[in-house]
Amino acid sequence: MTVLLEQYWWVLVIALLIGVAVAWAIFGRTQKTRVETTISPDVLDEGAAPARRNQALIDAPPATQATAPPAPNAAPVQTTEPQPAPPPPVPPVPAPETVPAQPAAPQAAASTGTGDDLTRIKGLGPKLSQLLQSLGITRFEQIAAWSDSDIDRIDAQLGKFQGRIRRDNWVEQAGYLAKGDTAGFEGRFGNI
């Protein structure tokens, strides 16, 4: 027996390697690979970082930013950006109590061409446009002429859309669109 092992040892080594390969093929492939993941905190969890997509809104200055009057000895600050001309005076929108609810009136105004396409204002979609039309607001000139009290009064009636007027700067956008200044609008707010 010893003589056989000395002469054919290489056959035994090859058989052993083949056996290991077959065992790996049978048992090694059937095991599932585990994927270990780390759970990152949700943006709503306490102490979590803000969502990246909202960072631009967080870093942007407020739409209506109050500026302090210049110091008495300070030189006036020159801005290179031309200031838009004040919009023409438009009578204020009547209080909601005096506006009768007419569901067919907004659609009739839009179809006859008496109103503007309010959805051209960024941040004002079809639902908001319908809501504003039901309040009697159909023209860019009306929005451009809003005072702070008008904005507060209309904003209170926007329901879940409250705060959009100032945040999306509707008054300034409507001023450009009322004048037909598309170049100025696109320079300030991007393509229509």
Q: Per the domain annotation, does 53 fall within a domain?
A: no
Q: Per the domain annotation, does 48 fall within a domain?
A: no
pLDDT recorded at residue 85: 64
Q: Per the domain annotation, does 131 fall within a domain?
A: yes
Q: What is the distance between the alpha carbons of residues 3 and 15, in angstroms, rounded to a whole number?
A: 18
pLDDT recorded at residue 84: 64
Cα distances from 186 to residues 122, 130, 179, 183, in angstroms, run 11, 24, 13, 5
Query: Which residues span the domain enclosing 166?
Result: 102-192
pLDDT recorded at residue 91: 61
Cα distances from 72 to residues 65, 78, 79, in angstroms, run 21, 16, 19
pTM of the model: 0.42
Q: Per the domain annotation, does 79 fall within a domain?
A: no
pLDDT recorded at residue 136: 92
pLDDT recorded at residue 178: 93
Q: Per the domain annotation, does 90 fall within a domain?
A: no
Domain count, the chain: 1
Q: Per the domain annotation, does 91 fall within a domain?
A: no
Q: Per the domain annotation, does 65 fall within a domain?
A: no
pLDDT tens sequence for the chain (192 residues): 788 778 888 898 999 999 999 988 887 766 666 666 666 666 666 766 656 666 666 677 777 655 555 566 655 555 556 666 666 665 666 555 544 444 333 333 343 457 899 999 998 999 999 999 999 999 999 999 999 999 999 999 988 889 999 999 999 999 999 999 989 888 888 887
Q: Per the domain annotation, does 114 fall within a domain?
A: yes
Q: What is the distance between the alpha carbons of residues 147 and 89, in angstroms, rounded to a whole number?
A: 11
pLDDT recorded at residue 102: 41
Query: Are 172 and 145 contacting, i.e. CB atoms less than 8 angstroms apart?
Result: no
The owner of tokens 């000139």 is 141
Q: What is the distance between the alpha carbons of residues 63 and 151, in angstroms, rounded to a whole number?
A: 13
- Helices 182-189 and 170-179: angle between axes, nearest 10 degrees: 150
